[in-house]
Amino acid sequence: MTHNSNKVVIFLGPPGAGKGTQAERLAREHGLVQISTGDILRDHVARGTELGQQVKPIMEAGQLVPDHLLIALIRDRLAAMGPVRVIFDGFPRTQAQAEALDLLLEELGAPVNSVPLLEVPDQTLIDRIVERGRQATARGEQARSDDTEETARKRQQVYREQTQPLIEHYQRRGHLYTVDGVGTMDEVYGRIVSGLK
C-alpha cells in the first residue's frame, strides 16, 4: 500500500454511528490526515491569519461560517500537503459544499476516491446515544445535553434532510458505498476497508 499517491475519503453517517472513531483508525493505518473543519477554523483563529480574522467574529456570534470561507480554509490546508491524503468527517454537509469541494479537489488533481456511508438502524442509534448518556451519568459525569432520546431523534431528522442530497450526489459519481455499521468496531472497520477504492 503506497502512501505517496493522492487519496480522498469522505465519511458519511448519522450521529452516533461511530464515524469519528473509524475515521481516526483509517487515518492512522492508511497514512491519511483527518480533516476537521472545526479544527482548521480554530487553528486559523488562534494563529490570527487573514482567514482567521474573517471567521472569528462569525464564530463568536455563533453563526455558520459561509461556504466560500470554509473552502478557502480547506484549500489552504490541502495545498500545503505533498500528496493529498485525507479523510473528511463532518464535511461536506450540504450539496453546495460537496460541489465546491469537488471543484477544489479536481483543481488539486486529487478527486474523491471513496465515500463510505455508515448505516445503522434508527432505533440502534438512539439506544447507543441514550446509553452513552446513561454511562456518563453513572460515572458521575455530566451527560452531553444531546444524549437524550428526543434530541437524538431530532438530530437524525436533521441529518437525513441534510445528508440525503449528499448521498445522491456521491452515488451519481460512483463513489458511494454503504457499510453495515452494526457489529464490533473491528467488524465495521473491516467492512469499511474492504470497500475502499
Tens-binned pLDDT, residue by residue, of the chain (197 aa)? 456 799 999 999 888 888 888 999 999 999 999 998 888 899 999 999 999 999 999 988 888 889 999 999 999 999 999 899 999 988 898 899 999 999 999 999 999 999 999 999 988 988 888 888 888 889 998 777 767 888 888 888 888 888 889 999 999 999 999 999 999 999 999 999 999 87
Of the candidates 19, 77, 85, 191, the residue annotated as catalytic is 19
Cell of 123: 432505533
Residue 73 lies in a domain: yes
pLDDT at 1: 46
pLDDT at 3: 67
Q: Is 134 a catalytic residue?
A: no
Is 88 annotated in a binding site? The answer is no
Q: Is 85 a catalytic residue?
A: no
pLDDT at 2: 52
Is 144 annotated in a binding site? The answer is yes
Q: What domain range includes position 172? A: 7-195
Is 21 annotated in a binding site? The answer is yes
Residue 2 lies in a domain: no
Residue 61 lies in a domain: yes
Residue 179 lies in a domain: yes
Going from the C-alpha of 7 to that of each of 31, 61, 72, 168, the distances in angstroms are 10, 35, 20, 21
Of the candidates 56, 128, 153, 155, the residue annotated as catalytic is 155
Q: Are 94 and 154 in contact (CB under 8 A)?
A: no
Question: Which CATH number covers residue 132?
Answer: 3.40.50.300
Residue 186 lies in a domain: yes
Residue 35 lies in a domain: yes
Cell of 15: 450521529
- Give the C-alpha separation, 138 to 88, whole Å: 33
Residues 6+ apart with CB under 8 A from 34: 23, 24, 27, 86, 87, 89
Instruction: Please report where in the chains the cell 441534510 appears, as a residue.
Output: 162
Of the candidates 25, 56, 93, 128, the residue annotated as catalytic is 93
Is 160 annotated in a binding site? The answer is no
* Helix, strand or coil, per DSSP, at residue 11: strand
Is 143 annotated in a binding site? The answer is no
pLDDT at 106: 94
Q: Is 93 a catalytic residue?
A: yes
Of the candidates 56, 128, 132, 153, the residue annotated as catalytic is 132
Is 42 annotated in a binding site? The answer is yes
Residue 1 lies in a domain: no
Going from the C-alpha of 139 to that of each of 16, 18, 21, 128, the distances in angstroms are 20, 21, 21, 16
Whole-model pTM? 0.84
- Give the C-alpha separation, 153 to 159, whole Å: 10
Give the total number of structural domains in the chain.
1
Residue 28 lies in a domain: yes
- Give the C-alpha separation, 112 to 8, whole Å: 5
Of the candidates 28, 134, 144, 154, the residue annotated as catalytic is 144
Residues 6+ apart with CB under 8 A from 130: 147, 148, 149, 152
Per the omega criterion (within 30 degrees of 0), is the bond before 92 cis? Answer: yes
- Give the C-alpha separation, 144 to 117, whole Å: 25
